[in-house]
Structures are given as C-alpha cells and as structure tokens.
Structure 1
C-alpha cells in the first residue's frame, strides 16, 4: 500500500477512528484523541480530581483483570453504577463519585484508540480543554512538518461495527485545530482545514451537539448532563497525556 493517506508535508493532520489513528500514528510525533461523548471528556473530569486514567478497549472480564493488575478501580457501564462502584464513562457520574487514584476507563472508541495508538505522545482532547491542548502542543513544538500532530476524531459505531462519524468529535477536533492554526499557520492538511471550518462555521456548538444524533441518544437515555458537561467549551486547563499507560495531567 502506498502512503497517500499519511497527509505528509503537513504539520497538522486529521483522521477518523481507530483505523485512521493506526495509519497516522507511526508517522506523527503526537496523536490527539478526541471522543467528546464521552471518553476524552471523562478523562479531563477524572484527571482534574487527580486520578490517573488507564484506557482499555474492552468492557469484559479482561477489563477486570487489567484493573486488578494495575491496582485500579474499574469504571462500569452508565447504568451499572453502585455506591461501591460509582465510576463510569459518564462525566456527570465521575464528578459525583469520590476521587480515586487509579481508574481503568474502558471504551470501544476513544479508549481503544488511545490504548493502541503507539505514537510517541498521546493526548486526550475535547471541547472542555481544546485551547489548553492547542497551546500545549504549540509550546512543545508540535504542529509543524518536522513534528507533525495527528488529530483523531474517534466517532461512534453503527450496530454492524462500522464507523459512524460523529458531529461532536468533528467539533472537538476542529476546536483544537482552530486554536493550533493560530500558532502553526499554513501547516494544516486539507482534512485538518475542513475540520477547523466545521467548528468555525457553527454559531452554537453546545446547541448543535445537544441536537445531534449522539446528543439526543444520551438525553433520551437520561444522560443529558453528560452532554452539558461535554460542551463546556474551554473550561479546563488540564492536558491529559498518556504516560506509562495512563493519562495524567502534564
């Protein structure tokens, strides 16, 4: 296979999903994973409270073993929280739960990408920390052709397992790219420039996400608070970086 998909020559690149991440990761210096509803948003909430977050791709018996091996609590499904296990992928639940030093956060989208990325540096980005992430990337010299960054919108899954591009992740990626482009002008791939335009072209990102397919799904399931937290644009300076297998603040 040729390397046409790598967007070479550009300092800021953009792709979708686990496959896009796997393709770009070996060719970039830094990978930014964006899963607004809800993995990377949940990572920012947890890291704000001092928690180290271990990404894990599967929510099955192996996740429990992984958590035990890392002396960490295991986040459960949104509807399976209990007083003994109050941590889940829900940002609202994580805000209510007591802080824990170490947490395994399974997710088939953002967490799976982060766990398998293999890039030199992996960052968790979302709408809540878009400006902070962009500023940190620029401060480290990322975003130029010599040190390219790949911004990955995680997307969701259709019932058959195929990728469903998710509006909220396009906005999250676009917000980071928009801020980064102010510091790395001229280094955006066409794909990255299109993601930036999607963010700039939206008058009210929070309203758009709430009315999107993903936003409606969560609201109808009783988790509208998760959507509200996920659209708190630039409310945190936390930049979670994957270090020794866990996200922690820079």
Structure 2
C-alpha cells in the first residue's frame, strides 16, 4: 500500500482553511476560495457588483492589459494616483461614481493576481471584503450544507514590501476572519481559527483607519476608500469568478 504524503502546510483534513498570498493560495487548496484584499481590490469588486458592473481581474496595467480589455470590450482602470475626473481606478470611490461602464478590467498586484491565478484551478473563487463578508458566508454556508464533501479556504492577499516580499496586512486578516467567523460549519484549521479570533477581537471600523494600510491610503489622499472599505456588512453582493470575470451570484 502506497501512503500519500501531503505537505504539512496544506491544512489537509480540515474543512475550513486560511492562508496568505499567492503562495498560500497555491498550497492550501479549497473547493471554494474566498480571496480577501480589503484595501482595495475586493472592496472595489463588491462596489462594482452592487452596481451590476462585471470585473475582469488582471495582474498588471500594461500593454497586455490594454489588449485584454479590448478583447472583452471592457473599460481598463487606470492607476489610483493617475485617475482624473470621471476616470475609474482601483479606488472604490471612482467605481461608485462611474457612469456607463458595464465591464471593467481591474489590475491589482495582490487580490486581482490571486483571483486570476485561481481562475483555472477548478475552485469556485469569491471576492470577499468587510462589506460583504456576511453575505458571502451565508452563500458559502448554503453550498457547504448542500455538499458535505466541499471545503472552503480564505486567502488574505496581503501587500508587498519594496523588496517584493509579502507584507501581511491586518485588514485582510480581519476581512478573512470576519468571513470565517460567520461560517456555520465544523472543522476549522488552527490557522482559520486564529483568523476568526482576530476579527472578533478587532474594533472595527476604528482599527481599519488606524492600521498601516488605512493610514497609508489616508496619507496618499484616499481616506474615502478606507471609509468605503469600512462599510461593514453593507453589501449583499457575492462576486463569483466565472469565465475570467467576477459577477454577483444569484
């Protein structure tokens, strides 16, 4: 008999898992994967979903992104600092103010990259933020109840230091933990339990403004983006990645 040896990092044997970044998304597999990038990709996606805008995740805003947007007849978001009046960027404020946009290519080196990475994995990929963590958990609860063999993983996207290494971003820990804390299922890995506990211990929205990510956006002149990210449980949209685009599930 051949014994299958699995990675000790895979959180095998648990129905609910949690990890960080693109590498964590590759190692800790789930039938359902909730990608969490609170400041700001998944918050931006929920704002778009509330307005009926389809979002196409993409890693970089370069010439390949221009061609990708043309392929789907979609609007390509500009860089946050480059957005002028009427232009759309990763800033949720600009998406909320957008007019006449039905499809949006939204580049991001963190949450968007992970979503695109998982697009061919066979997993059902959700965009989760503090705005829709409860709605997403209710959606997942229904699927887990109907399909007892399914498992779910929350991936906190995190940010990047200047050397390219992962900077764990506490706002993503809270977003993932808030989603996990609302799941009605047994079998949490220790990592998932720790994330849920972090959410329960957070003083939101105050801590969101005071954490490094919130201070960074405020310092750069985008305090309204933090305010939108802090709209706890305000959205009923559950954006699901299908055929390369994220649309609100029905």
What TM-score, normalized by structure 1, do the two folds share? 0.93
1:141 Cα deviation from its structure 2 partner: 1.5
Other-structure match for 1:219: 218
In 1, Cα distance between equivalents of 2:96 and 2:52: 12
Cα distance 1:141–1:2, how it changes in 2: closer, same or farther (>3 A)?
Answer: closer
Which residue, out of 62, 65, 70, partners 1:63? 65
In 1, Cα distance between equivalents of 2:105 and 2:221: 24
Whether contact under 8 Å (1:12, 1:144) holds in the other structure is: no
**Structure 1 residues 1-250: aligned runs within 5 Å:** 2-25=6-29, 28-83=30-85, 86-117=87-118, 118-141=121-144, 146-180=149-183, 183-184=184-185, 186-202=186-202, 204-250=203-249
Whether contact under 8 Å (1:142, 1:148) holds in the other structure is: no
- RMSD (Å) for aligned C-alpha atoms: 1.6
In 1, Cα distance between equivalents of 2:209 and 2:56: 28
Whether contact under 8 Å (2:144, 2:151) holds in the other structure is: no
Q: Which runs of 5+ in 1 are unaligned?
A: none
In 2, Cα distance between equivalents of 1:97 and 1:216: 25
Cα distance 1:51–1:73, how it changes in 2: closer, same or farther (>3 A)?
Answer: same
1:44-69 per-position Cα deviation (integer Å, ceiling 9, x unaligned) = 00111111100001121111111111
In 1, Cα distance between equivalents of 2:94 and 2:79: 11
- The 3-state SS of whatever aligns with 1:222 is coil
In 2, Cα distance between equivalents of 1:143 and 1:171: 27
What TM-score, normalized by structure 2, do the two folds share? 0.93
1:146-168 per-position Cα deviation (integer Å, ceiling 9, x unaligned) = 21111000000000000000010
In 2, Cα distance between equivalents of 1:227 and 1:82: 19
Whether contact under 8 Å (2:173, 2:198) holds in the other structure is: yes
- The 3-state SS of whatever aligns with 1:137 is helix
Runs of 4+ displaced beyond 3 Å: 142-145
In 2, Cα distance between equivalents of 1:48 and 1:113: 22
Whether contact under 8 Å (2:78, 2:90) holds in the other structure is: yes
- The 3-state SS of whatever aligns with 2:9 is helix
In 1, Cα distance between equivalents of 2:177 and 2:84: 36
In 1, Cα distance between equivalents of 2:66 and 2:107: 10
In 2, Cα distance between equivalents of 1:212 and 1:55: 26
- The 3-state SS of whatever aligns with 1:97 is coil
Whether contact under 8 Å (2:178, 2:199) holds in the other structure is: yes
Whether contact under 8 Å (1:143, 1:187) holds in the other structure is: no
